Structure 1
């Protein structure tokens, strides 16, 4: 017969599953309430684990938060931004797809909670250098993926890293406004303006530029 601890929760020999539940519950709590307003008691209750199990996997709240940033927030950025950009025929298509998929998903949800990376960056980066390093690492990778796609698409003298930074900053501002308004209109408006910006640059595709050389 399975023994139960005093809390009434069943003990199971599934450390990987317990760890996953803790990370999922914590990521959800941080997204809804933020790091500082989420207690370890909140996490224990939401994950359905004992305090001992929580501290076994994550000795401190900071260790847990860093794991959430590295394993859940980075994963979300990869799924919703990096993969659409990587798999698109070009940077503009990938950026447009990312905006559209995110806006459509938010239209189906009842509440817009914002970008998890942006939310934690605003809350944690000034206070702690380890949080800042982990969060900036995700931004760096995000920027690199977009910049690499831009370089593959366009020839000429332009700063791909600066343009990628502009795209991310535009999205971050738009998702913050969407959260404030509880509407995806800022995201859709931003996507349209970025498309106009790309068209106005009229940068030739790299392959076309090479073909025009004597």
Structure 2
């Protein structure tokens, strides 16, 4: 039942946003009573934080970190992750944006608990990319750039491209970002 509530909330937060989703909306979508909801979550904020820590972090791991780690190089991992996301957006015909970005834009300024939870996700994402970068020879175009700075740039490029894709309702900005990142990450 807890998983059903988390799944319902994650879907609604992605489609409508946190502030435009009520607990009643979540209960209705999950098909649970108030008692069942409150048995698992003391408040909407507790539910929101659980969504960030459990659903959003898991989605990022599956969409980004697993392909990056499985790939033979950082460049191939970035291409695999961003390419798969771009294809999925093209197939579904609409762009709701990145769950991490959407929640960060909506909540990070106004709520320190959400800010901390989202910062943790961004830091883990960048740390894992940086560790992968550090294990490879630096691309010539990026000689002297630290793995941490390059990882931050990759995450920022993706995040910005996803925000633009959402505004345009097209995966084209993501495709452009991948093309440029591939040129930057190319090794001779």
TM range (shorter): over 0.9
Superposed displacement of residue 64, structure 1: 0.4
In structure 1, the partner of 2:149 is 162
The residue number in structure 2 matching 1:180 is 167
Counterpart Cα distance in 2 of 1:39 and 1:198: 43
| TM-superposed deviation, 1:154 | 1.7
Name the counterpart of 1:211: none
Gaps of 5+ in 2: none
Cα RMSD between the aligned structures?
A: 1.2
Q: Which residue of 2 aligns with 1:54?
A: 37
5+ unaligned residues in a row in structure 1: which ranges?
1-17, 205-214
Structure exhibiting the larger radius of gyration computed from Cα positions: 1
Query: How far does the alpha carbon of each residue in 1:80-115 deviate from its partner, in whole angstroms, 9 at most, with x for none?
Result: 000011111111110011111101111111321000
> How far does residue 74 in structure 1 lie from its aligned partner after superposition?
0.1
Measure how far apart 1:158 and its partner are.
2.8
Aligned to 2:57: 74
Q: TM-score under structure 1 normalisation?
A: 0.83
Alignment partner for residue 123 of structure 2, among 134, 137, 140?
A: 140
Shift of 1:142: 0.4
> What is the DSSP-based 3-state SS (H/G/I as helix, E as strand, rest coil) of the residue aligned with 1:85?
helix
How far apart are the structure 2 equivalents of 1:192 and 1:110? 21
2:101 counterpart (118, 139, 146): 118
Size of the alignment, in residue pairs? Answer: 184
Q: 2:183 aligns with which of 196, 200, 203?
A: 196
Mapped to 1, the partners of 2:93 and 2:134 lie a distance apart of: 38
| Higher RCO, Cα 8 Å, sep 6+ | 2
State the distance in 2 between where 1:145 and 1:80 align. Answer: 14
Distance 1:151 1:82 in 2: 15
SS in 2 for 1:117: helix
Which whole-Å CA distance do the structure 2 matches of 1:174 and 1:157 have between them?
25
